Structure 1
Amino acid sequence: MTTWNDFNSADDQNSFDLIPKGTRVKVRMTIRPGGYDDPSQGWTGGYATQNATTGSVYLNCEFVVLEGPYARRKMWSLIGLHSPKGPEWANMGRAFIKGILNSARGLHPQDNSPQAQQARRIQGFADLDGIEFVAKVELEKDQYGEDKNVVKTAITPDHKDYAAVMGQAPVSQGAAPAPARPATPTGRPSWAQ
């Protein structure tokens, strides 16, 4: 009989080794809402978070690995939207979101067709909540000086590993880029409807 006051027979904790730096994995990104809105910036729906101490604004994101040997493993990262120190953090955040959209929607970064430009637009942060894309796993120090996995780079269709990780057949050299998957009327993936 299991009792809640004697833990001698309890299982040992799982210890997870870090996912090796540079590993490419397919992830689903969810945004942990922070309740901060600024309609003048287009930040609505309570998805953004503002740090009360620094004044910085960001998306607090969780990335779950969907397939392969690291399936169900989670990583957390922030996507910068605003910093009182200057535009660099917001510019890095915008570049990351563009990479996420390119990866998720099968867009080559150099594709500037009207269809690709439209596919890089979102109605709001809700369009990013639940998006699936290929991520590059990186390492960063946590508050205790320990290494932790983070996601700061999306892998796009022009990368040699993209097709294999996304589960698509490789595109031959010189072939046209894969067409963007049509967005649903709400811009959310079909499984999130």
Structure 2
Amino acid sequence: MFDFNDAQQQMSPQGELIPDGVFSRVKLNVRPGGTNGAVPMDAKLLKSSDRSDALMLNCELTLLDGPYARRKFWQNFTVAGGRRDDKGDSIGWNIAKSSFRAMIDSATGLDPKDETPAACAKRKLEGLRQLDGIVFAARIMIEPKNDDYAASNRIANVVVPGDPEYAKVIAGQPVPPDPVNAAPRKSRADGGAAAPAWSQPQASAQGPAVSPEAKPAASIPQWLNS
């Protein structure tokens, strides 16, 4: 006899989007794209754009909690090249750095405003490959379709310590969705979450240079999800 009572309920139909504004812990896995990164650890890690000189970290993101647990979506983070600001810096890389910083803060429970030496040390990685496997709290959105792409899921914002939802989301507890594309959009005065100032793109060195002789040496920092 086969008892199917302990089986998980079937997943949503393939291609159905995760609803706008869902909160969950998310696990990030990097999908190597065949192009070398800036350091030996990132050999063959990056994905080259077919539209520009941009290099991207191609990520698979898996929800870990709630009714959409095990659902996946995919997102590219530009780490070099692409559009540039008036200082010549890669706009995509500045945005990606802010996202990666927030992921580390969320995964480790760091206060985003903590600039102590210990906190700063945790925000330093030997390579982008060390982000593979990181688990953090996030709010998911639906990116509307445009002339080039169908509608898709992506990270609306990483939920960090200090955000009202952080403790529950990181503990895997249910949090009501907060749709990003709901009309009218929430303002800060209405209680909507405002992005902290440090998460805005900052001028920095242009994205990582590509190393032609990179060799992999991956190891996930033990503190990343401790």
Q: If the length of structure 2 is used for normalisation, what is the TM-score? A: 0.64
2:164 corresponds to 1:160: yes
8 Å contact kept, 1:126–1:188: no
> Matched residues, percent identical?
28
Match of 2:70 among 69, 72, 84: 72
Cα RMSD over matched residues? 2.8
Bigger relative contact order, structure 1 or 2, given CA contacts below 8 A and separation 6+? 2
Partners of 2:26 and 2:121 in 1: how far apart? 23
CA shift, 1:189, in A, is: 4.8
Counterpart in 1 of 2:144?
A: 141
**Structure 2: gaps (5+ residues):** 1-11, 85-89, 174-218
Letter in 2 for 1:159: D
Q: 1:56-135 to 2 correspondence within 5 Å?
A: 56-86=54-84, 87-135=90-138
List structure 1 segments (4+ residues) > 4 angstroms apart after TM superposition.
142-145
Match of 1:48 in 2: 46
Q: 1:103 to 1:62 in 2, by over 3 A?
A: same
Deviation of residue 61 (structure 1)?
0.5
Q: Which piece of structure 1 moves more, 115-124 or 80-89? A: 80-89
Task: State whether residues 123 and 187 of structure 1, in contact with CA within 8 Å, keep that contact through their aligned partners in structure 2.
Answer: no
Which range is displaced more, 137-146 or 62-71?
A: 137-146
Matched residue of 1:36: which SS? coil
Counterpart of 1:107, as a letter, is: L
**Structure 1 position 126, deviation (Å):** 2.1
Q: How many Å separate the matches in 2 of 1:43 and 1:52? A: 24
Match of 1:5 in 2: none
1:110 aligns to what SS in structure 2? Answer: coil
Rate the CA distance shift 1:168–1:107 in 2: closer, same or farther, 3 A.
Answer: farther
My pick for the range that moved more, 19-28 or 54-63, is 19-28
Give the match's secondary structure for 2:43. strand
Per the alignment, do residues 36 and 144 of structure 1 end up closer, same or farther by CA in structure 2, a change over 3 Å counting? closer
Distance in 2 (alpha carbons) for counterparts of 1:30 and 1:126: 9
* Partners of 2:82 and 2:91 within 8 A in 1: no
How many residues are paired up? 163
Cα distance in 2 between the residues matched to 1:108 and 1:88: 25
- Pick closer, same or farther for the CA change 1:144–1:50 going to 2, 3 Å: closer
Partners of 2:65 and 2:172 within 8 A in 1: no
